[in-house]
Amino acid sequence: MEMTAPAKNLYQHKLEGYDPDWIKSDYKNRTATYTNLPPGEYTLRVKASKPPGVLNNTASVPDLVVLVYHWRRG
């Protein structure tokens, strides 16, 4: 990551089990928002680049589990 020139940093994320492709973002939009996910297990993968744009594949967030809402059980 380039801390002296953050505008040069690029990011990609993918929620495995949900997103078919990587989603690209830049230093201004470094968020991933998901709503209404179906119940299941997911892994959020995150890549970051530092100049000259080489992506780092080692960073990831722990697995996520989306449970069935209690009012949908039946």
H or E segment to which residue 26 belongs: strand 23-26
Whole-prediction pTM: 0.69
Phi, psi torsion values for 27, nearest 5 degrees: -65, -20
C-alpha–C-alpha distance, residues 9 and 62, integer Å: 23
Please give the DSSP secondary-structure letter assigned to residue 55: E
CA 41 to chain centre: 14
Residue 61 has pLDDT above 60, yes or no: yes
pLDDT digits (tens, 9 = 90+) for 11-47: 888 998 899 999 988 878 878 888 888 888 888 888 8
Q: Which of 9, 53, 14, 43 is nearest to 29 (CA)?
A: 9
